[in-house]
Structure 1
């Protein structure tokens, strides 16, 4: 009898170990997947009923019920000494819902609100860059009323997209769609937290795609002017380089202040865009809203997880959209396509044989009629990816295979957060991290480590000249192997001094003591 009992216990323990080992394997495998692959795996194991909608009698109840739990309320806090509204008219500020007092210092911390979309059950959330930029503290309120502090994983001012994360599991998330399939005239829903209200759903149609409003470029230019003026330098217009990428989905679904970072979904409840801005003379809804296409959002979010920054590949050309007036000016008959007016020396396009005066008509066999279309599709790709460009020269159509090159242009400077909790200190570092590979750890002779992949202007790392590429092995005496480890270790910061141990790519070990306040 004892023997049987022992056998049963042994079998039971063996089963538990097997299940635990399988779960660990699944977790590791999932950590290497893109967000779209993670969702596909989830739905393969958790089949869901298809959401339907009738064109003759639109019914969005299923879509709204499926999406609303995955759209969250974001609350941000700013320092008392920070000055907002330094520019004559900050469009993002108006849309986001910041108070309209201008040109004055705040004596009390300022709070603002926006929206975000959960895209994975373990707490990753996409929102707008302008929702969390400059924030000292970011909090997320879920639909079940829980309020959790969020960590900024990455921000991309070029597209106005940011990725943040909360420590939670089993969360409802919004199913990722395909923005390439979006059709003008199809029904869409906008879900968010406008004007201080609770979760709100509005309906409309897609009124245009590939739309450029100039809002991101304008914000980048105003930020550039402020930074130059703070340095005592008078900026010149021709010195400014815009990296903005705008190819918005335009909708007439009602969007207002606070909808920033919320979801634009189709009638099947699939995320097709992140609401970003509106066209309005007053700052309130006037008929047109604009969302960043989800296919671009997916790429940016995946880059933050995989590389710690957005990997951008370049064709290496400057161009201008053709129209009858410009064609007449050039003395050519073509009125459609993109006229190449410059080619970067030793760039990808030049190496593929493209020259000044060529007219680009297609990308991977899809017609290209606007600069917004080309920029958005190329931004989804990474250095080393190949694209087929179709172009016209001397009236004849030709094809070229272009291998995109690394974007080595100066990045838009970003500012980071400030204050006390581990998450706040993490954000204040102004850095991005990815786990060091086993090969890199072996090369450096260390057993733990994260690689610094981003150093943002005005963060602690920038101020104390911590360089990209540094492998950090310990924070406050604790070994670190992930961004989460870094944040956890920051909770033991003593007397406002962060102790960092690292190894440069070449060189001996370094010890850094970085004060939280400086």
Structure 2
């Protein structure tokens, strides 16, 4: 699946300059219920029936819709002068435009303007006022306002955000609000009817319907790869991001997050974050302000039909361990290369991504009971979750020239696929930040600073520390390399 076709879209309100905050979309397929069929009998059992004749979602929606809110984000965005005449100071003064500022290199700096975007959110705790939304809805926000279904508006506090799962938690101080009950998304099945509620194009409290089209989807769009999306054809448009995907029992199933679309429009391939994953992230954001991910120290791959046949197995789902990190929790528990993980804490493991998601959101010290196959014989192994070794360089630990860039150690998979690789990985880059203007790109590997080799995060932080006023970075990008000068 081409990454370019996975779309994150903002619905602007009053934009005086562009902003990359977001609202994602999905596609619709109306639900048709035919009276007199077995399907209608099942629907009647789950849905209130208006006057005993026509099945209707209205009674359920009246209970749920007050919990779905509109989120308005204000942020500063940069805008370069479009009219070449206004680049001349004489004409700028003649037309009453403010003088442009220049950076130390004599180049004109882009102007800052205020921009707004909209998204959606879901109240999940009416007592404490907690709201779940997408990280991309609020990540660039200077101010966040929440409007309820009764038109009351509140300033929202950002409790925490997790770019790796695209989940964020807000809080408002409000009385007489209603929360939506949470489902157990692990019990969701393909074919379940769902409705999506949000604010597409600012049209608040819009409801669309569809079904769950697929489960455990990986799209490659999340920054950290923690993906276990619910696929749906319920129609989602710009402004729906962070809203609610609801089952016919009026319970939250997922948080709409992104679409797959060649054109940026709705073609019926939408993806939502399962509520179980969103809740796990929310709990950690509320408790710690960030997500503290665990590890067991394994690398692996999906058990597909070809691999299953080659290994003489009669199943084609599970996670195959391809490497055990020495002295890791997995090694201490006795796991071995070639073991096939079938279930963890009672949850069936269909692929390696599911295992990574489950372990990554568990707390250090938690125990996970794994059912495995070793030499085609079932066994049970208990692994104690260890602390993730992943480090990131905080902004305060680096030169201001790198503000907006997030660096981390190189992933083991990159080390295995690239010979003689060393350095640090540029994981994320904030739009319009000082680092973003230098030509750096996410995925770059910095292996030298000021001609000094970088072999660890500690070395990088020492060479590119807060006092550095000039940085000559040697960057590996794909199969090539280049120097980038920051000053």
| TM-score, reference length from structure 1 | 0.58
Q: How does 1:66-85 map to 2 (within 5 A)?
A: 66-81=63-78
> Alignment partner of 2:125: what SS?
coil
Equivalent pairs counted in the alignment come to 324
Instruction: Report the 3-state secondary structure (helix = DSSP H, G, I; strand = E; otherwise coil) of the residue aligned with 1:108.
Output: strand
Task: Tell whether the 8 Å contact from 1:53 to 1:267 is kept in structure 2 after alignment.
Answer: no
The structure 1 residue matched to 2:349, chosen from 368, 376, 381, is: 368
Q: Does 1:161 align with 2:167?
A: yes
Q: Once the 2 structures are TM-superposed, how far is the Cα of residue 248 of structure 1 from its aligned partner?
A: 0.8
SS at match of 1:202: strand
User: Whose strand fraction is larger, Structure 1's or Structure 2's?
Assistant: 2
Q: Measure, in 2, the Cα distance between the counterparts of 1:457 and 1:413.
A: 13
Q: Distance in 2 between matches of 1:186 and 1:66?
A: 20
Higher relative contact order structure (alpha carbons within 8 Å, sequence separation ≥ 6): 2
Deviation at 1:358, TM superposition (A): 1.4
Partner of 1:111: 116
Q: State the 1:81 CA deviation.
A: 2.9
2:71 aligned counterpart, secondary structure: strand
What are the equivalent positions in structure 2 for 1:185-224 lying under 5 Å apart? 185-216=191-222, 220=223
Structure 1 Cα separation of the partners of residues 132 and 297 of structure 2: 30
Match 1:138 to one of 136, 144, 163: 144
Q: Distance in 2 between matches of 1:145 and 1:273?
A: 24
Distance 1:51 1:75 in 2: 34
SS at match of 2:194: strand
- TM-score (ref. length: structure 2): 0.62
Q: How does 1:373-384 map to 2 (within 5 A)?
A: 373-384=354-365
Tell me the CA shift for residue 75 of structure 1: 0.9
Are 2:203 and 1:180 equivalent residues in the alignment?
no
Q: Is the Cα contact below 8 Å between 1:359 and 1:391 reproduced in 2?
A: yes
Paired residue secondary structure (1:175): coil
Separation (CA, whole Å) in 2 of partners of 1:310 and 1:414: 18
1:284/1:196 CA distance change after superposition, 3 Å: farther
Distance 1:400 1:206 in 2: 33
CA RMSD in angstroms, aligned pairs only? 2.9
- Quick check: 1:333 aligned with 2:312? yes
Alignment CA distance shift 1:356-1:57 (3 Å) = farther
- Of 300, 304, 322 in structure 1, the residue corresponding to residue 281 of structure 2 is 300
- What is the CA–CA distance in structure 1 between the aligned matches of 2:308 and 2:227, rounded to whole Å? 24
**In structure 1, C-alpha distance between the alignment counterparts of 2:146 and 2:320, rounded to whole Å:** 46
Question: Is residue 2:61 matched to residue 1:59?
Answer: no
The structural deviation recorded for 1:254 is 0.6
Q: 1:485 is matched with which residue?
A: none
Unaligned runs of at least 5 residues, structure 2: 1-44, 81-108, 397-403, 405-427, 431-487
Contact 1:274 1:292 in 2 (8 A): yes
Does the 8 Å contact 2:79/2:112 carry over to 1? no
- Structure 1 residue aligned with 2:135: 129
Quickly say closer, same or farther: Cα 1:51–1:412, change in 2 above 3 A: farther
The residue number in structure 1 matching 2:253 is: 272
CA–CA distance in 2 between the matches of 1:327 and 1:181?
A: 26
Give the C-alpha shift of residue 167 in structure 1. Answer: 2.0
Which secondary structure does the structure 1 equivalent of 2:283 belong to?
Answer: helix
User: What's the CA shift for 1:367?
Assistant: 2.8
Q: Does 1:353 align with 2:350?
A: no
Following superposition, the deviation at residue 303 of structure 1 comes to 1.4
Contact 1:256 1:278 (8 Å CA) reproduced = no
Q: Is the 8 A contact 1:205 1:253 kept in 2?
A: yes
Distance 1:350 1:169 in 2: 51
